[in-house]
């Protein structure tokens, strides 16, 4: 029995951040997808059913809260971690109320995010195969 690869969707309008996160989570063994806007993100959510979405709060067009509402409407079991370049506490609170698990403020520590995603997707009961910091 093989472990189904978990899927991570990265939604950010900044290409550099998407590329960095794609590299990090691909090397962690996840299937990674990326979207630069809300419309594309929701198409991927519908077609691929990601296990976790890393979602930027500030995206031109449809903002992160709007995307979060749609993601949760499609499948409330999808885990969402917000990313924000700003300390908008009211938006962060609203995101949490809408079901986001946590948020990272940019520039974030990539190792902290990697550990947080691994804990969410591997349920904290990581086996010895996944060494932290390897």
Instruction: For 18-49, give one letter per residue: b (16+ CB within 10 A) or e.
Output: beebbebbeebebebbbbbebeebbebbeeee
Determine the Cα angle at 77 with ends 118 and 116, to 5°: 20
- Asked whether the predicted pLDDT for residue 128 surpasses 80, the reply is no
H helix runs in 28-126, sequence order = 38-48, 64-74, 89-97, 110-122
Q: Tokens for 91?
A: 């938006």
pLDDT for position 87: 66
CB 7 within 8 A of CB 49: yes
Q: Mean pLDDT for the chain? A: 90
pLDDT for position 101: 97
Enter the pTM of the model: 0.89
Q: Tokens for 93?
A: 């609170």
CB 28 within 8 A of CB 114: yes
- Asked whether the predicted pLDDT for residue 126 surpasses 60, the reply is no
């Amino acid at each position: 029995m093989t472990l189904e690869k978990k899927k991570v969707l990265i939604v950010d309008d900044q290409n550099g951040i998407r590329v960095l996160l794609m590299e990090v989570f691909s090397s962690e063994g996840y299937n990674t997808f990326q979207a630069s806007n809300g419309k594309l993100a929701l198409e991927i959510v519908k077609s691929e059913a990601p296990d976790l979405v890393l979602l930027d709060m500030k995206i031109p067009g449809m903002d992160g809260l709007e995307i979060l509402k749609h993601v949760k409407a499609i499948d409330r079991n999808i885990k969402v971690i917000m990313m924000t370049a700003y300390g908008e506490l009211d938006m962060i609170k609203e995101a949490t109320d809408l079901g986001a698990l946590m948020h990272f403020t940019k520039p974030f520590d990539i190792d902290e995010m990697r550990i947080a995603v691994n804990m969410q997707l591997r349920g904290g009961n990581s086996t010895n195969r996944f060494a932290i910091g390897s």
